Amino acid sequence: MFIFLTSIFALPVLSQTNFYEKQEIEKKVVKDFQELIDIWTEELYFEMYQFGTTRSRKKLTKIEFVQRLVDLHWKPSIKPLKDEKIKILYRNFAIIEFTQEFINKFDQTRTVEKRMIFPTIMEGSTWKIDLTQLINIPYEGRIPEKAPAKKPMAAKTVKDATSDATSDQAAP
């Protein structure tokens, strides 16, 4: 009896969404995620913690989360999300995929774009994410460094060429 009642109440949450529901869910996911990115850009880390899922907030305290974000050298730029794609798996579970530009906190001329994927879960009236995924951004992959200045190559002189001889040769 318990299994039957549980399955009846779980069906509406797990069922496929119709076209209009899908549009509303996509708008809400993008809106909530953009709000999180905006708060991060302003470096309001204590406020960001509220966007974490209950499960991730149990793993990571607010102080640990804030300290990890303060220690990061990168933060999102003010540019909006690019190429966002939302995949709705259930009415309360979606995946957002997007490209975000990050800037270096200490050298604002250094930027990097990252393609990222975040699972999001509806908790209450807000789409939440796993906070542990945030504290590692954008450090997966290679971050481009400034190219070193090229040194002009000096032509070798005859004396330099003779000094390159191996020690096996006998001196005259």
Identify the residue whose tokens are 């040769």: 169
The end-to-end CA distance of the chain, in Å, is: 104
pLDDT bin (cut points 50, 70, 90) of residue 13 is very low
Contact 84, 97 (CB under 8 A): yes
pLDDT bin (cut points 50, 70, 90) of residue 10 is very low
CATH number for region 2-139: 3.10.450.100
Residue 52: beta bridge partners? 129
pLDDT tens figures, 99-133: 989 998 888 899 888 888 999 999 999 999 999 88
- Domain ranges (residues) in the chain: 2-139
Residue 139: beta bridge partners? none
Token readout for 61 is 């305290």
pLDDT tens figures, 28-62: 999 998 999 999 999 999 999 999 999 999 999 99
Whole-number percent of the chain with pLDDT over 70 = 70
**Is the pLDDT at 168 greater than 80, yes or no?**
no
Burial class (CB in 10 A: 0-12, 13-18, 19+), 49: buried
Task: Give the containing element (helix H, strand E) for 123.
Answer: strand 111-123
Task: Give the containing element (helix H, strand E) for 127.
Answer: strand 126-128
